[in-house]
Chain A
Amino acid sequence: MKPSIQSLFFILLICISDFLSAQTTIAGKITDKKNPLIGVSITLKDTYDGATSDSSGKYSFKTSEKGEFILTATSVGYRPFEQTIRLEGKGILTIDIVLKEEITELSAVVISAGTFEASDRKRAGVVLTPIDIVTTASANGDVTGALKTLPGAQQVGESEGLFVRGGTAAETKIFIDGTLVNNFFQGGAPNIAGYGRFSPFLFKGTVFSTGGYSALYGQALSSALILESIDLPERTSASFGLSVLGVNGGYQELSKNKKFSWGGAYSYTNLGLAFAVIKQKQDYSKVPVIHNGDFNFRFKTSATGMIKYYGYFAKNSFDFTEKSIDSLGYFDRFGLKNFNTYHNIAWKESLGKKWKMNVGLSYALNQDDIKSGMKDANNNEVILSGLEFKTFNIDADANYYNAKLVLERRLKGISAIRFGGEYNYIDEKSIFTIYNGQQFSARLKENIKSLFAESDIYLTNKLAAKIGGRFEKSSMLDKTNIAPRFSLAYKLSKYAQASLAYGIFYQNPERKYLPSPDNLIFMKATHYVAQYMKLTALRTFRAEIFYKKYEDLVKTGITSGREVAINNDGFGDAKGFEFFWRDKKTIKNVDYWISYSYLDTKRDFLNFPYATKPNFAATHTASVVMKKFVQAWKMQFNGAYNYASGRPYYNIRYDGSKYYFADMGETQDYHNFSISFNYLPKIGKPDAKSFVVYVLQVNNAFNMKQVYGYEYSYNGFRKEQIVPPSRMFVYIGAFFSFGIDRTENAVNDRLF
């Protein structure tokens, strides 16, 4: 029997080795139809067997499995592939696989015509982060100040706001977390621009659309500035700042579970010290003083949901006189007391896998008390005959309520559809008191209800379209409008893309020319934008051409001594091209950008006798912004140069029946060099308990003369340059923040 035992073992061995050698080889090539795909993982499902494709897209592996199995091929950026195969335990099975591209947010083209967008998740394009804003030398720490260094915006210094592509500041609307913000700027005075109310550090995302913006926004003929507020802070911290302009302090607390935070800040601004050192054109009896407080809370409602509240209060007052252009030896007086409060609550939430919801509510109250008049050399109030109109008081009280709901449903891939509604309620009351005590009161109420829908359609990673529309109903005009919006983007190469945008935009007549004795309609603008953009890791190039057509602009006339809207017979157009180049690569530790805008625009609006280039439009505008950080000195050097070619100015007079140009001309070119230094002694010490920034900023460092335009005396005989209140301005400040970091405490607790 011995041999048979051996033979049995032998058979057993053969069986086992046969079992081991009963292998099937699976091999093939993986492509995306055209090119071989490298690094694709091929797996025989539920076994360990598989391979990764090599540099020619080929793969091959052996398996001892038998029967029906599923072969899968997966690679990031491609849709997973599955195929059922039968394994016989022998032979070679050739399976060539074609993978289809998956459309993802990171690889897809970005619909970008007309916009400068900054956000973390999407590819950082032309980003202006809060740090970018405060280190832009000419921005004065102001959001819109930094945006003026981008193409499309004018260098208008005599009044606040963004003048975009031939549009007035009133044609740019600003939105925070989806809802409209009225009175974004502190109240200014005639020919003195007010600053933005909100700190750049309140916002994590900025979209500055200079044309062709989304159907989610409306009531802006030219431009939309869309700001997204920050989420939970990274840690509990306190801050304190001191500057030549005032003091500020704040506190932010982040709960231990990192789901809730609250905080508040207060700042006191007093320009007394600055104005004592830097001589102003105006003579202040009351220097500008601003008390500003804010409060916020934010909490996570779920893994992806969050509710954010931000509340703001400000009191602002000043009073000054300056030499009157109308009567030699006399002075014009202007005083303002302003109270403003703004509250915004925003709630975002994912509703299941496909749906998202954004709700925003905001309320604002703005109260102005304006006193205008004339004074003599002894500072006594006077009323001069023929100039009585210069003495008046305005008491204005305005309430604004906004609500917005946006629902988003994800479609196939990253395509999505968004729709919703918006409600704006405006209630403005004003009492106008003239020199003899006679009062005129006015009250304007407006309800604007809007519905909108917009769809992002990604046809491939290379081609995407955004199609939308907006419906608005104004109770004041008793009119409705429907505005289509369309944009298209095509990826030319890995880094370059081209896009187109088209849209119709409607806006109500500016309320300062209302109420009107006549029936008015919406003003209308049509935008056409074409863009080329190339984005690499550290460089951005953008070129854009645009054409804009204005229709139904408001024309004004004189009714009982007041300039009011009379009809919608105005019109105009604007065309031009723009370049933007940002480079963080060529020069080590230097970040710079250059922008240039060419604008050709004419319009007939308000009291213009005929269509001509408006006084806020310069043909050529350019900016160069440079930032360099010197690590060894812990010092940041910033410089900015802004240029604008001369702007036209007009003396428009009324002959009793119609307006005419009594005089016109063009200002000299505008140049502004600004520099700033930031010293950060504690930078790069991750264990530092506090962080300090010292700032020295000099605006118009070469003390050059800047002329914004000309104003004319009432009788038309005299004209005077409109210039900034002072040529050069110097700002010095120190800011401290004290992080109360819980992980730090945890470490210390264990060590000691």
Chain B
Amino acid sequence: MTTLSPEQQTSQRMTPDQIQAVPDPDGGPGEGRRRPWIFYTLLGFLTLVFIAPLFYMASTSFKTPEDAISTVPQWIPAHPTLQAYERVLNDPATPVGRWFLNSMVAATANSLLAVSTATLAGYSLARIPFKGRKVLFGLIVSTLFLPPVVLLVPNYLTLNYVGWLDTLLAVIVPGAAGAFGVFFMRQFFIGLPKELEESAFLDGASRWQSFYKILLPLARPAIATLLLLTFLTNWNDFLWPIYTLFSPEQQTLPAGLSTLQSANSVRYDLLMAGAMISAVPVLIIYAFTQRYIVEGIASAGMKE
């Protein structure tokens, strides 16, 4: 065991440097390309186009009102201050803290309601051979093509009738009726092998037991992805809340930003602070889960 034969030496694991040194047969942009610097300059420029506006939003939220509208852009605040945040969080006309809480409650409740009902229905439509299944699924999928604006006026009248206007229920419940979640979960359950459940049924498990104990644990990644997408959709929803929530203390962040903008149309320090309070939670979630979000959306596209 003291010396290695030549054969053993070549089958040894390569160090990362060695791996990189191997020329890429597909012709990566670095080696072998005629002008790698153009490639990286282009990517760098694009990255700047996407990052710089967001950076400037963050920067302005820490500026004084005067610095925010200085004609020479300040990428770094000359007089860093938290006064914009203090002001928007304490102004009773624009209670941004309350909006944050409302958005949190609404998005959490809406995504839990939507995903739990969609998971049950998606499982049923994928796995239980019941009468009327095809017609029902056809009907649900066809509503994916219904423009949401068609439902706008009638749903508003329904909410008015049950007294949910200007309450968080208005942004929690109707949005959970969308067909996308059912479609998404059904596609997932159809992809699982049938044998998983068959053996459970032979052991005398009921439908519910087989669903709850066998399929549901396997569905965790799909459920997590759908929860994320639903949460983000509700958190960002704009059209519905601006028409159904009127009082300042009932609004969610996107609707509130619109109120904030009408109240302080050129106080960009306040507007950027408000925008930051809406954006940062989402960006934090995105930073940790971007792979699931991006791939969840990409897979939804591939399944069509």
- A associates with B: no
